[in-house]
Amino acid sequence: MNAKPRLISRLGLVLLALAGLALCGVCGCSWGKTKRAVIDAKDEFFHTKPTARPIFAEDATPLTDLNAEAADDLIFSLQGRLSTDSPIYVERFANLRDPNDAGTFGKIIADQVATRMAQRSYRIVMGPPPPKQPEPEAKPEEKTGIFTLKKEYRSQPALLSGTYTIGEDLIYVSARLTRLEDNALLSGLNWTLPVNKNTRELVPQLKRPGEGTTPSVYTTPPPRTAR
């Protein structure tokens, strides 16, 4: 009795998805999203929707994309407090729970954030900052100038540093840009990175038991033990 209304309802889903496809062609929607919508409607109509799904779906977003996005947010929050010609020194991000951790993960994060800032025309200087030098005392005639350049727009050295903390499902990252002149915090940001196959390869603490070993498989049944 209800077969015909149900068929009309499913046919409506397909027509609605096709209408969305045509509308997105006008409005500039993502082709990938529209295509998935059409496929979902087709699967619903023809009962071909897959029933098997992964139990633990991992976020496979590349670290470079996530760290580049974080660098953009870090730059945005500067709000002009640091000129692009100011030298920015880069420090390896430290493991907050284990400061003695000399693994590559902290350096990878720092390098990827610094690379993105360099792409945004900031002056990145590799290596530790030089020792702090006392500022020379200004001459009397220099103190009475009519125009004074604000500190926010002067070229002033800064340090990019940060920490990361390893959680069960996420890695929590914190970055900061500090002015070396007075240790003032110019910008800071917190973000998370997924725990997935790639991060487990980079962070030894995330290795699962048995990973990297080749399991032994019997090609013939083992002999029975005589009783």
Burial of 160 (0-12, 13-18, 19+ CB in 10 A): buried
> How many angstroms separate the CA atoms of 189 and 157, rounded?
19
Task: Measure Cα distances from 191 to 3, 71, 92, 93, 103 in Å.
Answer: 50, 10, 17, 13, 20
- Would you state the structure tokens that stand for residue 145, as one six-digit string? 């100038």
- Would you state the structure tokens that stand for residue 178, as one six-digit string? 């500090």
Question: What is the predicted pLDDT for the residue at 217?
Answer: 43
Segment 196-214 mean pLDDT: 73
pLDDT band at 206 (very low <50, low <70, confident <90, very high): confident
Pairing of strands 158-166, 94-95: parallel
Question: What is the predicted pLDDT for the residue at 69?
Answer: 97
Q: Is the pLDDT of residue 81 over 60?
A: yes
CATH 3.40.50.300 is right for the domain spanning 63-131+152-206 = no
Tell me the pLDDT of the chain averaged across its residues: 75
Phi and psi at 36, nearest 5°, equal -65, -35
Tokens 């540093």 found at: 161
Segment 97-118 mean pLDDT: 93
pLDDT band at 99 (very low <50, low <70, confident <90, very high): confident
| Per-residue pLDDT reduced to its tens digit, 44-70 | 555 565 555 545 577 888 999 999 999
> Could you tell me how many residues make up the chain?
227
Query: In whole angstroms, how large is the CA radius of gyration of the chain?
Result: 28
| Per-residue pLDDT reduced to its tens digit, 124-182 | 998 788 887 666 565 555 554 544 445 555 679 999 999 999 998 999 999 999 999 99
Q: Is the pLDDT of residue 202 over 70?
A: yes
Q: Is the pLDDT of residue 95 over 60?
A: yes
Q: What percent of the chain has pLDDT over 70?
A: 56
pLDDT band at 214 (very low <50, low <70, confident <90, very high): very low
Cβ atoms 94, 139 nearer than 8 A:
no
The answer for residues whose C-beta is within 8 angstroms of residue 180's C-beta and 6 or more apart is 89, 129, 132, 156, 157, 158, 159
Question: What is the predicted pLDDT for the residue at 83?
Answer: 92
